[in-house]
A and B are shown apart, each in its own frame.
Chain A
Amino acid sequence: MRDGAAFSDPARERFMFARRLLFTAVITVLLTALLIARYFDLQISRYEDFATQSNNNRVLVRPVAPSRGLIYDRNSKLIADNRPSYNLTIVPERSSDVDKLLADLGEVISISERDIQRFRKRLKQRRPFEKTNLRFNLSEEERATLAVNGHRLVGAETSARLKRFYPDGELFSHVVGYVGRINERETQTIEAVKYRGTDSIGKIGLEKFYEQKLLGDVGSEQVETNALGRVTRVLDKTGAVSGDNLTLYLDSQIQQVGHEAFKDKRGALVAIEIETGGVLAMISAPSYDPNLFVSGISQKNYDSLLYSPDRPLFDRAVRGQYPPGSTIKPLFGLTALQHNIVTPSYKIKDNGYFYFKGIERPWRDHNFARGGHGDGVDMAKAIIESCNIYFYGLGVKTGIDLLSDYGTQFGLGATTGIDLPGERPGIMPSRAWKKGARGQSWFNGDTINTSIGQGFMLATPLQLAVMSARIASRGEVLTPQLVKAINGQEQSLLKTQSDINISKKHWDYMHRAMQDVVHSNRGTARSISKGLTYRIAGKTGTAQAISIDAEDKYDSSKIAERQWDHALFIAFAPADDPKIAIGLIVENGEHGGSAAAPIARAVIDAYMQSTSSTTEINR
């Protein structure tokens, strides 16, 4: 009004102002319409998308790991348990800087370079927002340290889960096996859905064979989480179903006795309950602690097991293949008797050598130096004193076709069908086998070698036990089994072939001869008869670990211990009503009677004791 007041025109100014204000009002309304359009677009047009996104944001489906089925021995003693273990896990989405987090964690607890490498590998396989393991088996102290420093370790947390635990350590490792972390190769083959929330899988032994039973069904949990990944509430839950519990035929006490008997020895033993075919004890020595493998064995520990000359990781009981040696004699004797090739009264003179027409070089007996077993060697004597010369002749007379046929019926040359992975079939040689495997015809010399369980012939300790059980049961054919019951439900006995047809008188004859192996003063296993309150029937065996020329005498002092003969023994007891049958081998034990038979005695003693105490309880 001062400046240019003379030209002031209030009405015109007011009009101008009103026009401008109206203009801005229109702009305001237009911009508001723009906002509304945007909110309409988000809230109506794209509502479904955002509603889904919002749910994905907050709702997380978490797998609930089932607890793995437990494994009990026949007396309900727990031999594979689950125990809580604490892992350090990371959800990278929750952490602003994973590298820094790893560095921070490394300052608080020990994290090796290898842990980090494995963690990064696992990161690639996981789903978003899934916890990824960094360290396993946190100690109480480490957990406390992590809890105290939790505020500056956002993205890391300790999570509890059940971990397999084998309370008896190395006692059952070869039978039960162990679980270990799922490796990359297994990731390709397993049904991924079943293993959500589980990071271990049965690697060997029963744990592998019964993986599908033991695993259980994974459950799920819909949880609501906040932006920090903390679970605020559980929306929905489908419980996990625990894996099936296994009850074994195994008896811990018998296993323990056998395990101790093998102390410092290498070898294997299988004891079978004749009535059921159930495995009472199964030992492969030396053994190892399966707990080492559960959450990843250190390279150092693994190497020492892997490269040990004693090969502790090797399951000799079902994978070790040895020449059965003289333990095969009762089987072949029965074959010859049944087919009237020899009679019990048939006798030979044994002066330590066996010549076969057309072959210059003789086969010898183990005691050829002392001039053989002498006059009047009948089958009983040939079993009791383990006369090779008798069986050379018997073998040739019987012929490989019959020997092979009966050998197969007694369980040789094929896997027994036991509920364990990786069982080896051994070899029961035949014409067809030699043609197929070697591309050669069968010679009589091959039959002679086979007739004393040498040559091409190979059997696992399990097969020896099965053979022993079939002799003991007079030809009843049962498939050996480890699992007696699943979730308390008894499994039916397995029979894959018809019983072996041999006359009762032949069984009686052979059982008597085998009793005399232990109980007569000429028997090769007489050393174990002392103090026996029951009768054991058995047969010793010796198997060459290396081949020795016929002219040379086997002299243990001249060859390294690891090339000494293997000592074998098959047995069953009580002889008049057999309950338990055993097959065993002591590597480089030299003599079945001295090295192997005492172990069988100890195991059978333990069995007899356990059954008598059970009967007492029953009374």
Chain B
Amino acid sequence: MYRNDFVRQLNSPGGDRRPSRIMHIDIPLLLILIALCGIGLAVLYSASAESIFYVKRQATFMLIGLFAMIGIAQFQPRLWERWSIFIYICGLLSLVAVLFFGVGAKGAQRWLDLGVTRFQPSELMKIAVPMTLASYLGKRHLPPRFKHVSIGVIATLIPVLLVARQPDLGTSLIIFSSGFFALFLAGLGKRYLLSTALLAMAAVPTMWFYVMYDYQKQRVLTLLSPEQDKLGAGWNIMQSTTAIGSGGLSGKGWTQGTQSQLNFLPESHTDFIIAVLAEEFGLIGVLGMLALYLLLIGRCMIIALNAQSMFGRIMAGTISLTFFVYIFVNMGMVSGILPVVGAPLPFISYGGTAIVTLFLGFGILMAISTEPKRI
């Protein structure tokens, strides 16, 4: 299994000579992503009250993301494996910086102002954490021992807690799951799983009384009975479920959704955009989009299975599972089965940083996918 880079490079040209391989592009992945982006722009156009401005901006970010993805794919996975720890440390330092110099809106400090642009370190950590864990665990004998598990858990929890304090529960949840998935795919023992489950149960009251903010508690309470607070926190959920439900089987038609077009639906172009899709395209639209998502996740899992290294496998598996968490949390929250946390719907919700981060992740997946077979 051990080969130095020099030997690998010599072997490489002799292998697959298809242009996609040379360009390090995974064609099925690319096609699904482009399809998702297309749907995303169409829904965004409707959700933003037919605003060309939003669509243009989103399309620009998507293009930047696409090029970034292809760019990232050109680097050997081994490079990422090697440099992941530095990326992780940089991310951690900027998270700490956010605590002191962060800027933000609506009572949350999430960004670092870099003068030219604003940078959200927590987004970086969504990739840095699984990458670091994959790199760390991939080099170990699997399943990981207690020491490795402990280091993995600590490496995950530090950014999770930092992000949760911003507060950004949605992102911290994503980072936590990516860490967990990495450990799980690396073969985390059943004993650990059991104790994690127990710990999680114990954590619920602790979180409730010591960690969670009032507004976060309110969101959980709202989930349990949205009717209690029709014009306050419950408004969002009641309006979004109404939007979804009134879409029926085939929907009201593109740009014809009354809930979203008449501003009953809050955050219709960001976190709640699935409600617009559900209202305007009905259950058929929802199923179609879920099918695309599952295709994407399926392709990612195949890439994970075929990866050349354990780093690649864990990294690809974690990215695909984390991707699913995005979808599940968002669609669950908008349809009222999960509390409202700030979680965008990948490729559909408006938001530049999130789009670029997603593409970066898939860029690494493409690099893993197109890594030449080792002899």
Contacts and interface: CB of A to CB of B under 8 A. Distances in A.
Interface of A: 1-5, 7-8, 10, 13-14, 16-18, 20-21, 24-25, 28-29, 31-32, 34-36, 38-40, 42-44, 46-47, 49-51, 53-55, 57-58, 93, 96, 224-228, 232
B317 A21 contact: yes
A128 to B, nearest CB: 11
A4 B248 contact: no
Interface string B281-299: 0110011001000100110
A328 to B, nearest CB: 72
B244 interface: yes
Contacts of A16: 142-143, 187
B317 A24 contact: yes
B258 A224 contact: yes
B139 interface: yes
Contact of B337 (A38, A49, A54): A38
Given A42-B241, A43-B249, A44-B283, A57 B258 contact: yes
B280 to A, nearest CB: 12
Contacts of A34: 337
A17 B181 CA distance: 12
27 contacts: A3-B141, A4-B141, A14-B313, A16-B143, A17-B185, A17-B186, A17-B187, A17-B304, A21-B305, A24-B184, A31-B324, A34-B337, A38-B332, A38-B335, A40-B283, A42-B244, A43-B244, A43-B245, A43-B248, A43-B286, A49-B245, A54-B243, A57-B258, A58-B262, A96-B231, A225-B262, A227-B262
Contact of A42 (B245, B258, B287): B245
Contact of A3 (B140, B282, B332): B140
B335 A1 contact: no
A226 B249 CA distance: 24
Contacts, number: 143
Given A3-B139, A24-B181, A43-B278, A227 B263 contact: yes
Contacts of B332: 35, 38
Interface of B: 1-2, 139-143, 181, 184-187, 231, 239, 241-249, 258-259, 262-264, 278, 282-283, 286-287, 290, 294, 297-298, 301, 304-305, 310, 313-314, 317, 321, 324, 328, 331-332, 335-337
Contacts of A29: 294
A223 to B, nearest CB: 11
A51 B245 contact: yes
User: What is the interface of chain A mostly: helix, strand, loop, or mixed?
Assistant: helix
Contact of A36 (B139, B243, B244, B287): B287
A40 B304 CA distance: 32
For A7, A44, A227, the residue with the greatest tally of chain B CB atoms inside 10 Å of its CB is: A227
A28 B185 contact: no
B259 A54 contact: yes
B248 A51 contact: yes
Given A32-B290, A51-B246, A39 B335 contact: yes
Contacts of B185: 17, 20-21, 24
For B139, B141, B305, the residue with the greatest tally of chain A CB atoms inside 10 Å of its CB is: B141
Contact of B139 (A2, A31, A51, A55): A2
B251 to A, nearest CB: 9
B264 A226 contact: yes
Given A1-B2, A50-B245, 5 more contacts: A35-B335, A38-B335, A43-B249, A50-B246, A228-B263
B283 A53 contact: no
Given A57-B259, A58-B258, A224-B262, A47 B245 contact: yes
A47 B184 CA distance: 40
Contact of B283 (A10, A39, A54, A58): A39
A82 B290 CA distance: 61
Contacts of A4: 140-141
B261 to A, nearest CB: 8
B246 A32 contact: no
A20 B336 CA distance: 30
For B242, B304, B324, the residue with the greatest tally of chain A CB atoms inside 10 Å of its CB is: B242
B245 A10 contact: no
A8 B241 CA distance: 52
Contacts of B298: 25
A46 B310 CA distance: 47
Nearest to A7: B141
B282 A227 contact: no
A17 B184 CA distance: 9
Contact of B262 (A2, A21, A232): A232
Nearest to A33: B290
A50 B242 contact: yes
Given A39-B283, A43-B249, A25 B187 contact: no
The 8 closest A-B pairs by CB, nearest first: A50-B245, A4-B141, A54-B246, A226-B262, A42-B245, A43-B283, A227-B263, A50-B246
Contacts of B248: 43-44, 47, 51
Given A16-B142, A51-B248, A35 B328 contact: yes
A355 to B, nearest CB: 89
B297 A28 contact: yes
A507 B35 CA distance: 106
Contact of B241 (A7, A40, A50): A50
B286 A39 contact: yes
A343 to B, nearest CB: 90
B242 A54 contact: yes
A173 to B, nearest CB: 46
B283 A28 contact: no
A46 to B, nearest CB: 5
A226 B266 CA distance: 12
Contacts of B305: 17-18, 21
Contact of A17 (B242, B286, B310): B310
A35 B1 CA distance: 42
A14 B140 CA distance: 13
Nearest to B145: A4
Nearest to A93: B231
B10 to A, nearest CB: 22
A28 B140 CA distance: 27
A318 B239 CA distance: 61
B139 A39 contact: no
B330 to A, nearest CB: 10
Contacts of B141: 3-5, 7-8
Contacts of B139: 1-3
Contacts of A24: 181, 184-185, 317, 321
A95 to B, nearest CB: 10
A57 B259 CA distance: 8
A14 B278 CA distance: 40
Contacts of A31: 324, 328
Contacts of A1: 2, 139
A39 B140 CA distance: 43
For B181, B186, B324, the residue with the greatest tally of chain A CB atoms inside 10 Å of its CB is: B324
Given A50-B245, A51-B246, A225-B262, A42 B142 contact: no
A44 B249 contact: yes
A29 B291 CA distance: 11
A39 B278 contact: yes
Contacts of B181: 24
For A47, A93, A96, A225, the residue with the greatest tally of chain B CB atoms inside 10 Å of its CB is: A47
Contacts of A227: 239, 262-264
Contacts of A46: 245
A134 to B, nearest CB: 20
A44 B278 CA distance: 12
A28 B324 contact: yes
A100 to B, nearest CB: 14
Nearest to B252: A54
Nearest to B332: A35
A39 B317 contact: no
A25 to B, nearest CB: 6
Contact of A43 (B140, B187, B247, B310): B247
